[in-house]
């Protein structure tokens, strides 16, 4: 292996595709550690619903950015970029390879390419948009963003009011589209990046999502959601699996409907993830059952 050029291996793909298991196999092979780029696995109170690595997996390989925050903490993609680059600078002193895995495209892109310099929020604009959301709901934000930046509207998580509000306020502050401002040249990193994408046939991914949802309930998802229910207004809990159960607690849906909604919304989330990843020509796609082929590919890429 090249002793001089350090490499970050990025394992990505839709939710429930098997990224955690593959990352552990790769990390074992290269005797290294794993960075989580799943923005919901950061929160220690919600490991079941975010499919965070379990205690056995965490003991097998050292993981970073798993359960290191509370849902009450303020954290964003810019801080994540800074924290990960700092960690890599330290870890690359003793490791030639590090592994990063997750399904949060924005967070992966931040580490690989940098985050664009965007203006600080204008409190007046932000407060107005927050008020609009509280009075008229997500649909009012959808209408506004689609008008101001249709391109970003087509890719944003439409159930995330924080992302919607941020994009709208930037459009209103600058008179430019959020898309335009996010197209700055990417930062050149001083390490190599190899991206591995997991491809799963749609019918198989649907089955995996349904099985994993059932497994989460068996592990105690309902009880986990009950514990954080009093804090349901926090952005960290604006997440598939919790939102639907909060509606169940509020008497809006029965349990059967809530479970079905979780499965449906997880499938939709997986589709949005793939839309994001498909735009990245640097991703090397592999079927999920080709672990030995993936490791062989990585070995060849890491040769001098």
Tens digits of residue pLDDT in 30-87: 999 999 999 999 999 999 999 999 999 999 999 999 999 999 998 888 889 999 999 9
Residue 8: phi and psi, rounded to 5, are: -105, 120
Q: Which residue has the higher pLDDT, 235 or 108?
A: 108
Contact 242, 232 (CB under 8 A): yes
Residues belonging to the chain? 304
pLDDT of residue 77: 84
Tens digits of residue pLDDT in 248-274: 999 999 999 999 999 999 999 999 999
When pLDDT is cut at 50, 70 and 90, the band that residue 4 belongs to is low
DSSP 289: T
Within a 10 A sphere around the Cβ of 285, how many other Cβ atoms? Answer: 13
Given a cut of 90, is residue 182 above it in pLDDT? no
In angstroms, the CA 123 to CA 145 distance is 18
Give, rounded to a whole angstrom, the gap between the first and last alpha carbons of the chain.
6
Angle at alpha carbon of residue 109, lines to 108 and 111, rounded to 5° = 70
Contact 153, 145 (CB under 8 A): yes
Q: Give me the chain's average pLDDT, please.
A: 93
Angle at alpha carbon of residue 174, lines to 173 and 176, rounded to 5° = 130
Element of type H or E holding 8 = strand 7-12
Quickly list H helices, 36-137. Answer: 55-60, 77-91, 105-113, 123-136
Q: What is the CATH number of domain 123-181?
A: 1.10.20.140
CATH class of 7-114+191-302: alpha beta
- Where in the sequence of the chain do the CATH 1.10.20.140 domains occur? 123-181
Residues 6+ apart with CB under 8 A from 158: 138, 142, 164
Contact 41, 50 (CB under 8 A): yes
pLDDT of residue 174: 84
pLDDT of residue 186: 72
Given a cut of 60, is residue 96 above it in pLDDT? yes
What is the Cα 127 distance to its own chain's centre?
Answer: 26
Within a 10 A sphere around the Cβ of 286, how many other Cβ atoms? Answer: 18
pLDDT of residue 210: 98
Residue 135: phi and psi, rounded to 5, are: -85, -35
Tens digits of residue pLDDT in 267-294: 999 999 999 999 999 999 999 999 999 9
Residue 45: phi and psi, rounded to 5, are: -80, -10
Can you tell me which residue has the tokens 């090249």?
2
pLDDT of residue 295: 97
Q: State the sign of the Cα–Cα–Cα–Cα dihedral 270, 273, 279, 280.
A: negative
pLDDT of residue 185: 63
Element of type H or E holding 198 = strand 192-199
pLDDT of residue 230: 97
- Where in the sequence of the chain do the CATH 3.40.50.300 domains occur? 7-114+191-302
Tens digits of residue pLDDT in 133-168: 999 999 999 999 999 999 999 989 899 898 899 999
pLDDT of residue 2: 44
Can you tell me which residue has the tokens 């059932």?
214
Residues in a beta bridge with 35: 64, 100
């Amino acid at each position: 292996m090249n002793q001089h050029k350090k490499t970050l291996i990025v394992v990505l793909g839709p939710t429930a595709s098997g990224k955690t298991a593959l990352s552990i196999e790769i990390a074992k092979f290269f005797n290294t550690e794993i960075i989580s780029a799943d923005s919901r696995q950061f929160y220690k109170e919600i490991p079941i619903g975010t499919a965070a690595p379990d205690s056995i997996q965490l003991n097998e390989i050292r993981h970073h950015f798993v359960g290191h925050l509370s849902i009450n903490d303020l954290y964003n993609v810019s801080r994540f970029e800074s924290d990960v680059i700092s960690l890599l600078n330290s870890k690359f002193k003793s490791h030639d390879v590090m592994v990063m895995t997750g399904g949060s495209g924005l967070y992966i892109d931040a580490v690989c390419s940098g985050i664009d310099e965007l203006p600080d929020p204008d409190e007046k604009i932000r407060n107005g948009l927050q008020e609009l959301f509280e009075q008229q709901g997500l649909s009012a934000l959808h209408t506004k963003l689609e008008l101001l930046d249709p391109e970003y509207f087509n890719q944003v998580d439409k159930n995330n009011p924080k992302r919607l509000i941020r994009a709208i306020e930037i459009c209103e502050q600058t008179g430019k589209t959020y898309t335009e401002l996010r197209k700055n040249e990417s930062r050149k990193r001083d390490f190599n990046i190899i991206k591995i994408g997991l491809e799963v046939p749609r019918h198989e991914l649907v089955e995996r999502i349904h099985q994993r949802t059932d497994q989460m309930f068996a592990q105690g998802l309902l009880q986990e959601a009950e514990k954080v229910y009093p804090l349901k207004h926090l952005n960290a809990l604006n997440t598939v699996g919790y939102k639907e159960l909060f509606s169940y607690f509020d008497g809006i849906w029965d349990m059967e409907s809530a479970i079905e909604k979780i499965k449906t919304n997880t499938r939709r989330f997986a589709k949005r993830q793939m839309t994001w990843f498909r735009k990245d020509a640097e991703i090397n796609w592999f079927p999920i059952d080709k672990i030995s082929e993936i490791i062989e590919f990585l070995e060849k890429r890491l040769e001098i």
